[in-house]
Structure 1
């Protein structure tokens, strides 16, 4: 059954990763107060939770680290803490959350107390593989807009030795009311849902989809959907539905360091502020925004309330539809957004029941399977993304993963 209104989304702004730095993590958590106005009591509770998580990582985890980041929606800002390690894992998570189960030598408040202090707490642990923990702290009382789980979540991690990451992800909803067209008197008029503006080139810098379809009638493979036995069957256009579509982007700025991060930020800005309704239109807008930068590999997907998924990718972003038992890889094409993009192709798929969309950069190996994520699928998207990063991250490059679930 469809929910009323667009899917819930929260923007994330990474602050810093910490490894074997409990004091630095606590100090950074406390320093967030002036930025978001969390309040003295919530700040103290946040710092206490960060102290417990970092102390546990330092004393007992293998290759553990903690990420602090700011969460924002249109109304309120909060803090998210993500703790991840490579082992030893917990055989009995419910027992670990009971009071009195804090490991000897920690602060003694226990994970159960962290769970109670946080507005949202989630944990996934597997013996021999490690643990992912997520805790969110919002001002009290929590605003209604932060209840429930966001439909999209992701994570980024810079290559060792860098403070900024050249990978990025972003998501936004499309109600069909974002696009406007300029009028002769200098004002703008909204473009109705499902229609193209009269002067499409003013909005997107390209010909309208219908015009391109007529002009390029011999290139009918521009938009394809999977047919029988996995073959691609051409269709006339990739059409955005009339409802609240969910657009998701994954971006990998070329190389790493500040210049790659600059390209990634430009891609995110263009994606978030653009009026594009389809992945191809979004790719065209991002392509223009990245001119003059290093460029990037970019992939954009649109999830529809009716279960359709439209996908367009350029460069080495890995994308897949995943269930507990299957993984279907989505096709991207060679190129560099901002530099060289050949004919764009949008592919139409269906998001499987209880499935997810996964997109990640080449900072993660492609050698993961559906079984590697099967135990994570019922967790929030940010926890799934972190679990995938732990499993497939290579540390030889910036890394990012973004997960989208059906929100209807």
Structure 2
């Protein structure tokens, strides 16, 4: 489905702690570029973006993670790169973006080069609080008009697992967008199978509301071990968000500096679920809808991250993952911004 993007699209996490990891990250990016059929020029740009991003992690933080993923935005395919570290941050970001400036005694071409090479670029790096860098490169030329709905997510498997039991998806249909986050019971391949069944249900009925989607997922997940599920539909024309959730997943709306928790009900989709309650809330333009699996603690507050709410949704998701992952389960965060009404 061309109007659906998800964590099941091809992606690669690479741990960065040694010079050899830079080459591994670059090779992973080239595999994605080949899958997306990028031409030689775009593939070369991607290789340079990943090389610079991974090298910056080593120089300034010593270690971190890089995520490269194929993402579909309203039928337009791209590769997105997130470079995540817990290092010193950047004290003077405008200066750091200037070619020839480096706090590590090097040529200082990293951030400036990435900004020039990427079609979209963003960074969050408050002093003393690490750095998260985001770069997007479209398969061909950038679209003439970017879609109104901005969203981004991260999905990290439990250490030692090759598949995540979490999954997220974003479906666009008839002027609305539906967010889904599924957390398969447990972790590993069987949990991943349950989460994938939920996303498949969304792909088959993207115009359905949260209550109907959860009811359909309940049937689709019966052969699996089941999942916790959060679904939110954003309607910019009405400036409203409609939500329903089952199980241990969190959802919230962040607007005007305040966070509103959305309540999920007890149960396991596919096995033990009572009546689903669908609720509608005001959701003004610029508000953030944030869904997270139980691999993320619920004690975060964007008030502790000045300026983060204005950054790219993928950066917000990555910061919450980096700082609030429990470390003993798969962890996922999905963020979307409510656009203005037409």
- Would you say same fold, with TM above 0.5? yes
Over aligned residues, Cα RMSD in angstroms? Answer: 2.1
CA distance in 2, matches of 1:120, 1:83: 14
How far the C-alpha of 1:151 sits from its partner, in A, is: 2.4
Count of residue pairs the alignment pairs up? 332
Q: Partner residue of 2:338?
A: 406
Residue 314 (1) aligns with residue 313 (2): no
How far the C-alpha of 1:275 sits from its partner, in A, is: 5.1
How far the C-alpha of 1:253 sits from its partner, in A, is: 0.8
Instruction: Check conservation: 2:59, 2:104, Cα contact below 8 A.
Output: no
The CA deviation string for residues 234-259 of structure 1, in whole angstroms up to 9 with x for no partner, is xxxxxxxxxx2221111111111111
Instruction: Check conservation: 1:11, 1:73, Cα contact below 8 A.
Output: no
Quickly say closer, same or farther: Cα 1:273–1:372, change in 2 above 3 A: farther
CA distance in 1, matches of 2:245, 2:112: 42
Quickly say closer, same or farther: Cα 1:105–1:296, change in 2 above 3 A: farther
CA distance in 1, matches of 2:286, 2:14: 34
Q: Partner residue of 1:158?
A: 157
CA distance in 1, matches of 2:103, 2:140: 30
Instruction: Check conservation: 2:11, 2:32, Cα contact below 8 A.
Output: no
Q: Partner residue of 1:397?
A: 329
Q: Secondary structure at the match of 1:134?
A: strand
- Unaligned 5+ segments in structure 2 are none
Q: Partner residue of 1:356?
A: 288
Instruction: Check conservation: 1:15, 1:70, Cα contact below 8 A.
Output: yes
How far the C-alpha of 1:263 sits from its partner, in A, is: 1.1
Instruction: Check conservation: 2:4, 2:74, Cα contact below 8 A.
Output: no
The CA deviation string for residues 92-118 of structure 1, in whole angstroms up to 9 with x for no partner, is 111111111245476753211110000
Q: Secondary structure at the match of 2:26?
A: helix
CA distance in 2, matches of 1:345, 1:88: 44
CA distance in 1, matches of 2:184, 2:32: 27
> What TM-score comes out, normalization by structure 2 length?
0.91
Q: Secondary structure at the match of 2:124?
A: strand
Instruction: Check conservation: 1:324, 1:373, Cα contact below 8 A.
Output: no
Q: Pick which of 53-62 and 338-347 moved more.
A: 53-62
Quickly say closer, same or farther: Cα 1:374–1:122, change in 2 above 3 A: same
Q: Partner residue of 1:171?
A: 170
CA distance in 2, matches of 1:384, 1:274: 28
Structure 1 counterpart of 2:13, from 12, 17, 25:
17
CA distance in 2, matches of 1:394, 1:172: 28
Aligned 1:49-198 pairs, distance under 5 A: 49-61=49-61, 63-73=63-73, 75-102=75-102, 104=104, 109-144=109-144, 147=146, 150-175=149-174
**Greater Rg over alpha carbons, structure:** 1
Q: Secondary structure at the match of 1:298?
A: strand
The CA deviation string for residues 71-128 of structure 1, in whole angstroms up to 9 with x for no partner, is 2246443211101111210111111111112454767532111100001111011112
> What TM-score comes out, normalization by structure 1 length?
0.77
Q: Secondary structure at the match of 1:30?
A: helix
Instruction: Check conservation: 1:56, 1:106, Cα contact below 8 A.
Output: no
How far the C-alpha of 1:261 sits from its partner, in A, is: 1.1
Structure 2 counterpart of 1:366, from 298, 309, 331:
298
Q: Flag as ranges the 4+ runs of structure 1 deviating above 6 A.
A: none
